[in-house]
Structure 1
């Protein structure tokens, strides 16, 4: 190579090199991590081990340098994945608590508005409370998306159709000073995903790219098929995937920024210009689809996001007709079981205002006793999923043994993983995600009673 050891080490490594050479003079065995520069100028990470030997009758050092660049990259990706998992658990728990609070805030706002006369000065104050609650609900939904705990309405999709249908809207979002190009390859496979959430992923990444190109540039969205082998990233399952690539010619980012990119509330934008949840939302949605997202970027060299979604063999579903609006009124008997008192009180008031008779209990055991004492029919069980002592699913199973015609509607501030763990969200089960308004609750109860 015609290079000395000082030529191989980058300048910032020279101080460590000199210290290592001093250790070598003592004859000690050494093992260090370092960086070496290859003849073409690229820098790699190496593990260096050195031992004292005798060579040609003279003392010498045997130095071995092993290129561990790929291994270090995989280790860093694994650490990042573990960190994101831990933060996701925290975010999901916080969002659950907020969903209960927001159910009460938004619900009582609606009840107040129904009671206040149209010209009441207080109406505007209540509207402001409701608007603030709706913004907070939007933030909790983004936290749930990041933590992979939101309930998704998955269906088989043609990714090319999704991107093509969004093209006009995306052009408006990114602006006229950015050249927008789509490369939708023929024969791209199908994926199983929530169409609204997949659109949110694409929009969030397009907006991120737009913000990285304040002076204009080029944004390219590309679709293709991809096969991942055993050498994929940490945790990536080998198989066939649909790859969506979103590339911009913007400012790019350094390694430090990339290491925090998908963390909730991390943002490089000025205060007030972003929540720091856009890319965290993208990360959570993609992972909940069973997919993976990677980012390649360097300062001043643009950025490419690559989204891998598992390919499915089922035919893509066609958009269905919009369902007619359902009236929430009724006169049937509802057994309401909710351990959160403020949500239980709100739900009772909401249902009673729509004509229902409500029996309420704060725990599953109390609900069983109430059912035994009640001599008339109970038409529907409205129960929280996760409760102390007994889950909503177990409660429904116990009640159905004595009331075979009972219909069941589950509700929860927890979401996908917790709900699935408790056996809910199986085919044909009715579910209502918190936060909800009184009208939404009443309509859902009516749909369940009508068998819709």
Structure 2
């Protein structure tokens, strides 16, 4: 059992490290950070739980930025999970935006920054805080202060990687028992902002009432995807492993319309899981997902004609649109 658990954890870490190493295709868009974050608030509330108050402070006249929207999802989801786990009881999380000009003096005082105009995202929590020794290591892959099996040590490393990939900077301020403040600086976009206006006129997302079996062994991704789907009206049966998914399917008293599953999982891959679930529900629709690149997952057959696939990380519009496409095909 210990060897099996170690193998599962190694596979999980390897997969997350691929995400941290940014092997996915990136699709940056010009966006208003306030609008993007406002659209995430309901999901973030559910992610952190009712015992934590979420304080949202959007700045007026915020400058546009250019970034893959899924990167914002990843940053906020990882910071929220990290903050939630650091708050023992009732607590508070604050998210604030603003425009910021970094000058030469600032860069002299704080190494690693470049002068320029930035959109500032400040994320603070009332959690247990960190000492200086811990702060030095928090952005290192696989570093974690959580109990064994409860953290991979890639959450903040992923945040750091995304920020740096987008030519931004991140700073952290924390003391034991005094909470933590993460300040992220993303470059102001100074190109044509007509793209921003056009993208703000997108049609409402299509909703549904079907039942979906969702299988993902990374809890942060599972919880985020589950909340996305529930926000769109679906009933979601969430499973952290193929075995749990098969058990849920056997016990479910009515029809399951769609299986959404990760492709590569310890013990049983997505194709094998799909065959098991199809034995119980022959008419079930299938949607495979993965954070791996095409050359890694192609041998599993999920990119073949007739199969439906969505690349992780995905945004709410990406997922909502793909789910309706699969259900209605």
TM-score (ref. length: structure 2) = 0.57
Deviations 1:371-390 (A, max 9, x none): xxxxxxxxxxxxxxxxxxxx
Q: 1:180–1:220: 8 Å Cα contact kept in structure 2?
A: yes
Partners of 1:443 and 1:140 lie apart in 2 by 29
1:204 aligns with 2:92: no
The residue aligned with 1:435 is 297
Distance 1:250 1:414, change over 3 A: closer
Question: Relative contact order (C-alpha < 8 Å, sep 6+): which is higher?
Answer: 2
Deviation for aligned residue 1:149: 4.9
The 5-angstrom pairing of residues 16-55 of structure 1 reads none
Deviations 1:306-359 (A, max 9, x none): 11100103322517679xxxxxxxxxxxxxxxxxxxxxxxxxxxxxxxxxxxxx
1:183 aligns with 2:57: yes
Q: 1:141–1:150: 8 Å Cα contact kept in structure 2?
A: no
The 5-angstrom pairing of residues 413-424 of structure 1 reads none
Partners of 1:263 and 1:214 lie apart in 2 by 24
1:318 aligns with 2:199: yes
1:307 aligns with 2:169: no
1:275 aligns with 2:152: yes
Deviations 1:68-118 (A, max 9, x none): xxxxxxxxxxxxxxxxxxxxxxxxxxxxxxxxxxxxxxxxxxxxxxxxxxx
Q: 2:18–2:292: 8 Å Cα contact kept in structure 1?
A: no
Partners of 1:294 and 1:441 lie apart in 2 by 44
The residue aligned with 1:349 is none
The residue aligned with 1:161 is 35
For structure 2, which runs of at least 5 residues remain unmatched after alignment? Answer: 1-6, 206-290, 308-329
Deviation for aligned residue 1:155: 1.0
Q: CA RMSD in A?
A: 2.9
Deviation for aligned residue 1:441: 4.8
Q: SS at the partner of 1:245?
A: strand
Distance 1:433 1:443, change over 3 A: farther
Q: 2:166–2:186: 8 Å Cα contact kept in structure 1?
A: yes
Deviation for aligned residue 1:197: 1.8
TM-score (ref. length: structure 1) = 0.42
Q: 1:145–1:284: 8 Å Cα contact kept in structure 2?
A: no
Partners of 2:98 and 2:303 lie apart in 1 by 40
Q: SS at the partner of 1:440?
A: coil
Q: 1:156–1:190: 8 Å Cα contact kept in structure 2?
A: yes
What is the aligned counterpart of 2:140 among 245, 263, 285? 263
Partners of 1:311 and 1:443 lie apart in 2 by 42
1:143 aligns with 2:17: yes
Partners of 1:414 and 1:178 lie apart in 2 by 34
Distance 1:186 1:267, change over 3 A: same
Partners of 2:28 and 2:114 lie apart in 1 by 20
Deviation for aligned residue 1:215: 1.2
Partners of 1:276 and 1:214 lie apart in 2 by 19
The 5-angstrom pairing of residues 341-420 of structure 1 reads none
Partners of 2:101 and 2:75 lie apart in 1 by 22
Deviations 1:193-220 (A, max 9, x none): 1111211111100111111111121100
Deviation for aligned residue 1:141: 5.2
The residue aligned with 2:89 is 215
Partners of 1:184 and 1:303 lie apart in 2 by 19
Deviation for aligned residue 1:147: 3.4
1:171 aligns with 2:45: yes
Deviation for aligned residue 1:287: 0.7
Distance 1:139 1:195, change over 3 A: farther
Q: 2:170–2:183: 8 Å Cα contact kept in structure 1?
A: yes
Q: 2:66–2:189: 8 Å Cα contact kept in structure 1?
A: yes
Bigger Rg over Cα = 1
Q: 1:148–1:287: 8 Å Cα contact kept in structure 2?
A: no
Partners of 1:200 and 1:172 lie apart in 2 by 15
Deviation for aligned residue 1:139: 4.4
Shifted more, 225-234 versus 312-321: the winner is 312-321
Partners of 2:29 and 2:306 lie apart in 1 by 24
Partners of 2:121 and 2:134 lie apart in 1 by 22
Deviations 1:42-67 (A, max 9, x none): xxxxxxxxxxxxxxxxxxxxxxxxxx
